């Protein structure tokens, strides 16, 4: 079973976390079921950038992003070459190291989901 390492995030995951995931789950779903409440204002429909994450290790093993995700990522704050939307990036057999950026472009926080 692959592991996801979430790097420390001041608010969402201060100590970081190492969790197991099922192949095919999205990074967002893995985070949420493990108490890491990444914002997802569009309810996982690839219509915003609030779940923007950076895959520090394992990025090249992920399925490529599609055109819709790429278009949304162009609007993300702090975009990097290894950026993905956590609601779209699906876990593969490889362990992943994920960084949750400090900021998002969400104008209104929807609270816990």
- The per-residue pLDDT for range 72-107, each reduced to its tens digit, is 999 998 999 999 999 999 999 999 999 999 877 654
Distance CA 111, CA 98 (A): 22
Q: Is a pLDDT exceeding 90 seen at residue 3?
A: yes
Taking a C-beta distance cutoff of 8 angstroms, is the pair 89, 66 a contact? no
CATH ID of 3-99, from 3.30.479.10, 3.30.2420.10, 3.10.20.30, 3.40.47.10: 3.10.20.30
Q: Is the pTM of this model over 0.85?
A: yes
Distance CA 90, CA 27 (A): 6
pLDDT at 103: 76
Distance CA 40, CA 22 (A): 20
Q: What are the extents of the domains in the chain?
A: 3-99
Q: Is a pLDDT exceeding 70 seen at residue 113?
A: no
Taking a C-beta distance cutoff of 8 angstroms, is the pair 36, 12 a contact? yes
Proportion of the chain above pLDDT 70, given as a percent:
91
- By CB atoms closer than 10 A (0-12, 13-18, 19+), residue 60 is exposed
Q: Any idea which residue has 């569009």 for tokens?
A: 42
Proportion of the chain above pLDDT 90, given as a percent:
88
């Amino acid at each position: 079973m692959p592991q996801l390492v979430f790097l420390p995030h001041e608010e969402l995951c201060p100590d970081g976390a190492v969790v197991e995931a099922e192949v095919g789950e999205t990074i967002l779903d893995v985070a949420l079921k493990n108490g890491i409440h990444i914002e997802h204002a569009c309810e996982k429909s690839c219509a915003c950038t609030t779940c923007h994450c950076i895959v520090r290790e394992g990025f090249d093993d992920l399925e490529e992003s599609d055109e819709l995700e790429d278009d949304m990522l162009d609007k993300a704050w702090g975009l990097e070459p290894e950026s993905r939307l956590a609601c779209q990036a699906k876990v593969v057999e490889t362990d992943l190291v994920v960084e949750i950026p400090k900021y998002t472009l969400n104008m209104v926080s929807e609270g816990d989901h």
